[in-house]
Structure 1
């Protein structure tokens, strides 16, 4: 059996007796970590995990990645030498992170043409397998295009990242400083988690345009573990506050690259955060567009 580390799981058992006399028993679950050779190292479980029932409930994030042997031993109380055991093997796998460029995984934001734009997947991404996201475990590559007019700059299908001096004549760069002098953007956290944030400086984006930014994240230890995140940025000749939108129950909004998936037969509750100085809010209005 296989479970994600972010999943709770439950193992039940069926105990059948073929004997006369007292049927009073004790039950005990043990969990051992397995290697390619054997399952010999017993795991000390959290005291909240009840191991003396015929069923075993394992909360999410209890076990690390790997293969485990879960063994139930049933012992007759009157005849303690009479016991029987049965095992099941469980593999704990990674859930996969959600790459968020802005707070709450908001899909579209509005910024002023003279405002700096902070994209910070190292802070805002989510790892369901952990309590917090560890930005140091990932490599970050950013891409940008003018949404609706051009594709992401590429050469024969190979994407050109922000900062790449190569020019795609058919899909121009978002930033005028593409030559590599770095005046249009700043990468952050260069020591602990290089490039885990990107600041696009005010004046680098054209007003009355919609830009799409993409981040590609690759695990430093295992390049096959990857994630991609997107955000649309509308640029106006104003100085708006940054509004982030999220789901009250996050599991009801499933990220699907550029959008959030919702069940059309289920209610959904959204909430907002106003990022920055938002003390003079006069009204809040929600609109729905198809």
Structure 2
């Protein structure tokens, strides 16, 4: 993973050096900004860890790219678009940042993409997963890796549909990620001859999924899809087990589920969950 990050950051910083905003072309440094969630539902999956990993990758590179020293800035977007866009403008206009990295929260990712499109620079998103980022809202300055909602839906979602589970109920987080995941999953399920029998939108970072899960339970759907991420996923999964959804025969689909999430919910609560993993860090040498 360290070697992978070293290569990824090296390529990204070289691109940033070549294609940074006009005001940054005379920088003595290459400057990158880690725009992340340190305090909300994605803090465990990204958060301060994203900054630390960038620093480790930079350390492996010797602190320089193409002979120029690299500086790392970081900020907490707090899952608020106004804070994120203000930070992005400050970085590009004043701090001469060449590239912005991470950006968990698809709504914020898409908003920052438009700022980058207008002002220059580069955006490398690993946290935001909406497939529209590289689809309808594609930009030549925006790069997405690790996963997107199209890949996540077509992995485990297609497999469940192949198994004959045709009726689905969606618990989708109420912002861009949930909308993209619902649209991509609906395409997969419909193509397999299934249908979405119901859906409910859930607030971001809500601690209580009880009313939403009761609706999913009463729907009689064969599969309940948790179209959320981070702490929203772990909370909804724990509560789904408290209400006995899996014991009653309903399958759970987690659109994105990290190893840290499995450790957080425990083996018993994770039983029967099917998810798509973009990578597993120790799968091979």
TM-score of Structure 1 vs Structure 2, range by shorter chain: under 0.3
Q: TM-score, with normalisation over the residues of structure 2?
A: 0.27
Of Structure 1 and Structure 2, the greater helix share is in: 2
Instruction: Give TM-score, length-normalised by structure 1.
Output: 0.26
Which entry has the higher C-alpha Rg, 1 or 2? Answer: 1
